[in-house]
Amino acid sequence: MNHYADIYLTLEEGRQSRIDRIEVTGNTSTKDYVITRELRIDTGEEYSQQKIVNLPRRLNKLRYFDPVPVPQFYIDSQNNGVLLVNIKERNTNNFDGIIGYVPPAKDNESGYVTGLVNVTLRNIFGTGRAAAVRWQKLTRESQELELKYLEPWLFGYPFNLNADLFQRIQDTTYVQRRLGGALEFLATEDISASAFVSTEEIIPTERTIPVFTVYNSSSLTTGLGLKIDLRDDPIAPTGGFLFETVYSFSRKKINGPAEYITPGLETDPNLQRITVGFGAFYEIFVRNVIAVSVNGKELTGPFFEQSDLWRFGGTRTVRGYREEQFLASRIAWANLEYRLMLTQRSYAFVFFDAGYYFLDAVPENGVAKLEDYIFGYGLGITVETAIGLLGVSFALAQGDSFSEGKIHFGIINEF
């Protein structure tokens, strides 16, 4: 015998739930307001599941936490809607350093210290502020020093204030000093625009026997930038894309040396710089990710000096070549990586890099035209450690034998 039963279900629409309170758990050093302001949720706002699902991506962009789970929502005993955000903090201070000693090549020479020191402090005192110091000495006479500072959400508004100081001593040629600042408007959680200004001085090194190297000059640079970041995670993305572009205009003034300022030389040249970068990430199947990036930089003006040009080659552009091996007024490069995710933020990868650089000839200065296409390929691994993201790769440039391969090693800067 068959038995049947009829079930009648009646749904009655009740009141729309609202987010009356936000609770944060798991944070031991980060202030609650640093987290809640990134959510961009107002108290009393209507509950939206789609918006809640997108909240982890906003918090992951801070790079202070392990991957954040989707927040929970519940109604408490007082009938208030509570959004519960649970996070787990990660190390936000990075130290990357290597010091070496190069012994004298001749009896009448002395040895010298070379190396790199890179210290990054993010989320200082749990407030979201950040500072970084980088010192690098490549050769006996060449070294760089860079200081950076970030003040987030200026006066509680969605504006980030950045300041930086840079000095480069280029062997026995010149000293370059730059001081700049930028104001970034956080239009949405994914889109930001910035305006910046900087001053720069180029001071030629004094020599016993006068020889022209670069002009003594000063410049004022202003510019605008746009950034669209739709990556699901800024540290090890598996989906989304990143687009960045910057335009700058420099008014340069040549102050001397007077004996090298030839008739007809433009002593107040205008320089323009345009940079464009695009990166896309796609998970073809579980834990297997394709990462593609395309970048370009263009410098235009009546003439260029060594200190104006782009430096090309190495870890951040085309691997397999020495750091900043080439100088050019126009550069472009593309990177293709196949990544196998070992954990949520650690992965092994193989890569192929391709690049192009160009510098027009300046016969009066004895500068020949430079133009070439370069390629690099290899493999590597990026591992999340207690001191930050550690990256190691082995790369071969076009035409290199295995013994000529280069190892790129260091903590990935997350400032």
According to the model, what pLDDT value does residue 358 have? 94
Estimate the crossing angle of helix 32-39 against helix 49-60, to 10 degrees: 130
**What confidence score (pLDDT) does residue 317 get?**
92
CA distance 226 to 136: 29
Query: Residue 281 has what pLDDT?
Result: 97
Token pair listed for 293: 């990036």
Give me the average pLDDT of each 10-residue run along the chain (415 residues): 80 75 91 92 85 89 89 88 91 77 74 81 92 86 91 94 93 89 94 96 79 85 96 90 96 83 78 96 94 96 87 90 90 97 92 94 70 94 78 89 81 64
CA angle 119, 121, 127 (to 5 degrees): 170
**Domains annotated on the chain, with CATH:** 18-86 (3.10.20.310), 93-411 (2.40.160.50)
Instruction: Tell which residue, 138, 215, 148, has the closest CA to residue 170.
Output: 138
> Given this model, what pLDDT does residue 93 score?
82
Q: Token pair of 404, please?
A: 């000529």
Model pLDDT, residue 166: 95
pLDDT at 1: 64
